[in-house]
Structure 1
């Protein structure tokens, strides 16, 4: 429910505040006083497009604010929680329209986007105007309206859930069938890759060992000469290191007979001799292992070339032998999957057939119930319109299905009809307001008065099931009067049992049913025109009804007539 509305620097409104209540609220006033400006402000607070041209002349920005009371069961409450806004104290929307077009939106004091605003306010307010009746005239809403009327929303939700369940299965089947389609070609290629890696008999780290061996083989002569010279110098040759150290050792031993402290150094020289002998022995073993076989070098280089080729082909970015081994393991897994692909396709098809059968049955049942509900809705609307002086009106719901295109999965169609998340049907409200007229789409009604009555009839019937908290009628009385206006007012009054109703009207026959009545007027102040709003007390309301009755001036007769009109509404 809309509780409060504040408008500043907007069109001819300087600073205006309105506190709304439950029931039927009437807004009346002379033409051009600013009634429709209030509706424009509400539309902006619901998310319509803003323009700096709406700012009052001389101001830098316009400021609009609305406070809504929302229930914990409402869609707005749920969406506020989901988007991070605390809904426990209601919904406060603020919109700043700036002259530099840097407009801002706030929800409960926090900045928000237009997308979040429109999603939260989607079912808060329904505005029916003289020239546009919003959702009720949009054909894509007719099916939803019919389902709400027929209490079919639960079945509709089951259809949607089943439709969502079938989607991943369809995608899975396509992937499997595409894989199977190219399976022979892929299998031959992958099997070749497997054998190529397998026949190489790779060992992790083998390439590093071969690189070391290659280096030794390429420099074998140099290594042999170097090591052999080292052995000669250390151990074998005349005047070798070990020979000289041995001589030094003998000299120290003789000196040690004179000075015992030198014995320790003699022992250290023994250690040096032993160490040189060990090194020389190790070098002799090394030189025995040195190969100068050019055939072996060719074998090593050939093996390395093959390993490097495999690393480039299968090793990825790092290009290691371990990556090649990992790729081999992946190839084996893929080949195993290929072997099981036919079985996977059959299993997926079975799951799809089960889900498709369920979806088809639910959609078929929903379609039948819709047709039954359509008959009841048509009769009720014709009855409502008859009371609104549209006695010969013919109303019906036309059904159609969506054409199935070639690329659509067979699991998303049944009996050449497309299955969607709302079932099988497309529904259109059709009407022939007068005898002999061709029945046509609801939105094609030329008469504003007829259109207003159809909208009101629909809203009256759907009132108990409609989630919208506030319904605004913006001069829907255009083109009607007299007894029809009286009935229209009665229906608005009854509709106010289920919704907060705000009605802008010029007709006293409608205004008399208001539980609250505001008069909107304009005056010139300091050379500027401003709009004012004033809640009417009992006496003022009589005067406003008298003004609405017409005449150049209000007389005792028109006042008496106004009192009588108000009395008949009680």
Structure 2
């Protein structure tokens, strides 16, 4: 669950440090005070796209850090370990955005990517935005909701992989059938080219070896002459260095007996004497080995000419020929496989059967989940003053299937405008759609595994007794996990276990937002403000106290079954 959130220089927040409690918490305040900024800041820490607009005016950067308790989340701990980002029982996500729009991300103090923040964030927080009812009209959103609610998201991904594999093989078969003549010509040309380079038998490191040997053989006369000159000067001529150094070494050794100051010089000369002897020995071995070999030189030149000829023909560097051959061999193998149309047709049929098998399993799961979800959402709708409406999840067959399965999903409502079930987009008004969306969100949140749920003004368009029911729904969710709701409804806020007030003020010419935890008396004042009226009267305060009074037995019968 979310434990701590630090926000610095984010939009109209200069500095906030918030400690979160368990249960259901409400975030309230006047319109425009910045209630949703906290949600936006948390979303940034969870990997949402960053831009320069989040940096407070006049500041160099914005920073958000969120700490989560992950002691009871083995999936998160496993993911952190596999990404070398493990810590203790607390997980720290941090995001920094500079005034130029560049952002940096950190997980447990180590640099990370925004994608990694998003990946781990999926296990931590589920945010339901205030415009969720708009996306609810999209077919893909409806399908994703059903699959997520039923725990079928993983199976849906498998279906997508199987579908793409089947379609790719179909495309290969189509190309092989339609372009058989062209493929045959390409295969024949590749066979000839592969045969030519195979006959050349040229390895990747051979060119460097040939180049060294060619330079040595081509300059053999100069090498021999130079080595013999060095030998003569060092050891074989009458005035050779070796003889002179031997004489010097002998003379100094004798003189060192009379003056120890010469011992160091004598030692150095003896060292030169030994190294010179080693050099002379090496030169003699070299002159014995090096010889003029015009025949071998001609062989090397012929080999290099053959390699260069192929390199020029195929417009590559000599050392690139082995890689070119490997690519041709791979392409040739693919062409030979595609040329076998009977085998390719069998692979297509096999891939199609694999797709149908996994898609059929997904369809079975969707049918079961659709019936259960329709019943459950209808029950919550009844509690939200939509008792005449019946929610249905309909599976519409898709001929030959699609990447998302064998059916499209459509949410339908019956009873709001006649008994016939019709598409959600064609039946529900704006207010009804908000309540239906809230019913679905509450239901799917109950089945989600994330420990923290955030609702950002999802109660728009409702009020009165319905608002109290919404508050009770969120209160029940708060008994199982951490729930935070940004709301403008006193009936919802009054059901919270704890409440924060967001306010806005001008300091030093800057408009800043602040969040204040409310005690019991503070909650009474805030609920009274939310109830309305220019002045807060004793009657309004009494109404606020009534709303905040524990409901006792009224809460013992759960709304969510």
- TM-score, normalization: structure 2? 0.65
Task: Name the SS of the counterpart of 2:447 in structure 1.
Answer: coil
User: Which residue number corresponds to residue 521 of structure 2?
Assistant: 539
Task: Name the SS of the counterpart of 1:434 in structure 2.
Answer: coil
Which has the larger displacement, 163-172 or 345-354? Answer: 163-172
User: Which residue number corresponds to residue 262 of structure 1?
Assistant: none
CA distance in 2, matches of 1:399, 1:463: 22
2:349 counterpart (347, 353, 368): 353
User: Which residue number corresponds to residue 401 of structure 2?
Assistant: 418
Once the 2 structures are TM-superposed, how far is the Cα of residue 445 of structure 1 from its aligned partner? 5.5
8 Å CA contact 2:442–2:473 kept in 1: the answer is yes
1:370 counterpart (366, 371, 387): 366
User: Which residue number corresponds to residue 38 of structure 1?
Assistant: 38
Once the 2 structures are TM-superposed, how far is the Cα of residue 399 of structure 1 from its aligned partner? 3.6
Task: Please state if 1:477 is matched with 2:452.
Answer: no
Once the 2 structures are TM-superposed, how far is the Cα of residue 169 of structure 1 from its aligned partner? 5.9
CA deviation map 1:42-89 (0-9, x unaligned): 232233333434333333322222222336756655554454422544
- Mapping of residues 333-344 of structure 1, within 5 Å: none
8 Å CA contact 1:389–1:484 kept in 2: the answer is yes
CA distance in 2, matches of 1:318, 1:156: 46
Task: Name the SS of the counterpart of 1:463 in structure 2.
Answer: helix
User: Which residue number corresponds to residue 223 of structure 1?
Assistant: none
Unaligned ranges ≥5, structure 2? 203-301, 553-561
Structure with the greater alpha carbon radius of gyration: 1
User: Which residue number corresponds to residue 13 of structure 1?
Assistant: 13
Task: Name the SS of the counterpart of 1:117 in structure 2.
Answer: helix
Once the 2 structures are TM-superposed, how far is the Cα of residue 129 of structure 1 from its aligned partner? 3.3
1:507 counterpart (482, 489, 493): 489
RMSD after superposition: 4.6
User: Which residue number corresponds to residue 24 of structure 2?
Assistant: 24
- Mapping of residues 426-441 of structure 1, within 5 Å: 426-431=408-413, 434-436=416-418, 439-441=422-424
- Mapping of residues 200-279 of structure 1, within 5 Å: none
Once the 2 structures are TM-superposed, how far is the Cα of residue 4 of structure 1 from its aligned partner? 1.3
Cα pair distance change 1:470/1:137, threshold 3 Å: farther
CA deviation map 1:190-219 (0-9, x unaligned): 89999999xxx9999xxxxxxxxxxxxxxx
Once the 2 structures are TM-superposed, how far is the Cα of residue 482 of structure 1 from its aligned partner? 1.1
- The number of equivalent residue pairs is 443
CA deviation map 1:86-120 (0-9, x unaligned): 25444322222322333333332233333333333
User: Which residue number corresponds to residue 127 of structure 2?
Assistant: 127
8 Å CA contact 1:463–1:498 kept in 2: the answer is no
- TM-score, normalization: structure 1? 0.64
Cα pair distance change 1:172/1:19, threshold 3 Å: same
Unaligned ranges ≥5, structure 1? 205-303, 403-415
Once the 2 structures are TM-superposed, how far is the Cα of residue 385 of structure 1 from its aligned partner? 0.8
CA distance in 1, matches of 2:311, 2:57: 73
CA distance in 1, matches of 2:423, 2:517: 42
User: Which residue number corresponds to residue 391 of structure 1?
Assistant: 387
Once the 2 structures are TM-superposed, how far is the Cα of residue 384 of structure 1 from its aligned partner? 1.2
Cα pair distance change 1:147/1:341, threshold 3 Å: closer
Once the 2 structures are TM-superposed, how far is the Cα of residue 386 of structure 1 from its aligned partner? 1.5
Task: Please state if 1:459 is matched with 2:441.
Answer: yes
Task: Please state if 1:530 is matched with 2:526.
Answer: no
Which has the larger displacement, 375-384 or 309-318? Answer: 309-318
CA deviation map 1:402-441 (0-9, x unaligned): 6xxxxxxxxxxxxx41343x42222232446832499344
CA distance in 1, matches of 2:551, 2:149: 29
Task: Name the SS of the counterpart of 1:373 in structure 2.
Answer: helix
1:564 counterpart (532, 546, 556): 546
CA distance in 2, matches of 1:99, 1:554: 42
Task: Name the SS of the counterpart of 1:94 in structure 2.
Answer: strand
8 Å CA contact 2:52–2:98 kept in 1: the answer is yes
Once the 2 structures are TM-superposed, how far is the Cα of residue 156 of structure 1 from its aligned partner? 4.3
- Mapping of residues 60-71 of structure 1, within 5 Å: 60-70=60-70
CA distance in 1, matches of 2:121, 2:62: 21
Task: Name the SS of the counterpart of 2:30 in structure 1.
Answer: coil
